[in-house]
Amino acid sequence: MPESVLITGGAGFIGRHLSVELLRRGYRVRVLDSLIEQVHGDKGVAGILPPDVEIQAGDVRDGAAVARALRGIDRVVHLAAEVGVGQSMYAVERYVSVNDCGTAVLFQQLIEAPVKRVVVASSMSVYGEGLYRTVDGGTAEEVMRRPRRPGEPWDPLDAQGQPMRPIPTPETKRLALASVYALTKYTQERLTLTLAPAYGMEGVALRLWNAYGPGQALSNPYTGVLAIFAARLHNGQPPMIFEDGEQRRDFVHVEDVAQAFALALEHPAAVGQVYNVGSGEDRTVSEVARLLARAMGREAIEPEVTGQARLGDIRHCIADLGKIRRELGYAPRRNFAEGLAELAAWVAEQQAIDRVAEARRELEARGLVA
């Protein structure tokens, strides 16, 4: 009989694509999801998951619901989480409750019903600022951003006031938890890597970069930046970019993320390890906004660069994929231009409520944007 995989939060963006990948690999798939309105709207999950996926509605903080979902399960992918740096800085109780208490409840139930392996979704946000190269050729691991004064450069400076250059960030970089979201993701990592082996299970953590692709929650203003930009453009509004737009990010197609989870779920070398998951390519946020506008046929809409900083944001973080390539054989397959065209075609058929201005007002009212 094929093995069964439980995906917590599996009705979300990544979970949908992972379900397809796991079914293709011969697994039976069950999903536990709370189906919250911010992510799923009021339409639920009808038609968004393959028909062969078993869906159970329930909150990961509900021990009884988790216990039911774990019956007959061999492996777990833990995706259930509140997502968003900005919102995490004021919805503190909600983020800590869902992300950390939810993970604790999951493992409380796994103690009674252990599985072979648990793979948890972490985030590049745990690094804070990525790794930097200094003018003299050294590396800087503990770059902390201080409030920027008018006229100062956005990029971090070294002790002599010289600009530093971002370079790929490996898993060995010292962490700098700069937001509530980052704190909760690191807690999820450590709970998994501590408790799994203590109870005869295998644990793996994946630190995800900026995932994109069809199926993103377009009406959620705290989701991935490409989904936020797409919702704005779809409604004839300019993408809203904080700072000067020159911050660099790695955008990875959701099908490549699904590939990484499948490898982490199966590969013997993954046990007890943490891996970066990205595309291996970095671009400025402004460049990405313009490329998406072109793909959507909205070239005339220029991004709105606010010149404001959002508390908890980092300047640059670029994925070093050396470890996951060597140890698990991960290889990103999706071309960025093709991925944007696919996203644009999907967005054209959707309805998206633009809540970005509302989210910005919320952040400003709480003093989290300056």
Q: Which domains does the chain have, with CATH numbers?
A: 4-365 (3.40.50.720)
Closest to 340 in 3D by CA, of 259, 225, 192: 225
pLDDT above 90 as % of the chain: 62
Q: What is the mean pLDDT of the chain?
A: 89
Look at residue 363 and tell me whether its pLDDT is greater than 60. no
Per-residue pLDDT tens digits for 327-352: 999 999 999 999 999 988 988 888 76
* 270, HSE (Cβ side, Cα atoms, 13 Å): 26
Location of structure tokens 């231009």: 337
* 280, HSE (Cβ side, Cα atoms, 13 Å): 12
Closest to 229 in 3D by CA, of 356, 363, 87, 39: 356
266 φ, ψ to 5°? -115, -35
E-assigned strand segments in the chain? 4-8, 28-33, 54-57, 75-78, 117-123, 132-133, 139-140, 165-166, 168-169, 202-208, 210-212, 240-241, 248-249, 251-253, 274-277, 283-284, 304-305, 318-319
Closest to 293 in 3D by CA, of 351, 221, 352, 231: 231
CA–CA dist 192, 263 (Å, integer) = 17
**pLDDT value at residue 6:** 98
Query: 93: Cβ–Cβ under 8 A, 6 or more apart, which residues?
Result: none
Evaluate whether 217 touches 175 at the Cβ level (below 8 Å): no
**pLDDT value at residue 156:** 87
Residues facing residue 251 across a β-bridge: 210
Distances 125 to 138, 180, 270, 319 between C-alpha atoms, Å: 23, 10, 21, 11
Per-residue pLDDT tens digits for 101-147: 999 999 999 999 999 999 999 999 999 999 999 988 889 888 877 66
Per-residue pLDDT tens digits for 196-224: 999 999 999 999 999 999 988 776 665 67
**pLDDT category of residue 370 using cuts at 50, 70 and 90:** low
